[in-house]
Amino acid sequence: MKGTERAALRKQANTLKPIFQIGKGEISENMIASVDEALKKRGLIKLALLETAPYDAREAGALLAEATGAELVQCIGRRFVLYREPEED
């Protein structure tokens, strides 16, 4: 992903609210499936980590990005943004 594309996605994600929160539990298969489904519908999603989470934002983002085939666009504090190119019909 080019820098200009990443900047445009960061700009779009600025107004998004986190749709998932990761707490003290591990990132489960159920969580991965839910994030995958959200990426199919939206393409760009923001997630938040609670203070009890065993990960930091970069670790959790990288883990979910790898599991869903998405790209980690941005990490700020306890929030991160994932993007996946929409599938062609």
Number of Cβ within 10 Å of residue 55's Cβ equals 16
- With 0.75 as the threshold, say if the pTM is over it: yes
Number of Cβ within 10 Å of residue 53's Cβ equals 19
Integer Cα distance of 30 and 14 in angstroms: 27
Task: Of 77, 85, 81, give the one whose Cα is nearest residue 61.
Answer: 81
pLDDT at 76: 93
What φ, ψ does residue 71 adopt, rounded to 5°? -115, 140
Percent of the chain with pLDDT over 90: 82
pLDDT in tens, 5-44: 989 999 999 999 999 999 998 899 999 999 999 999 999 9
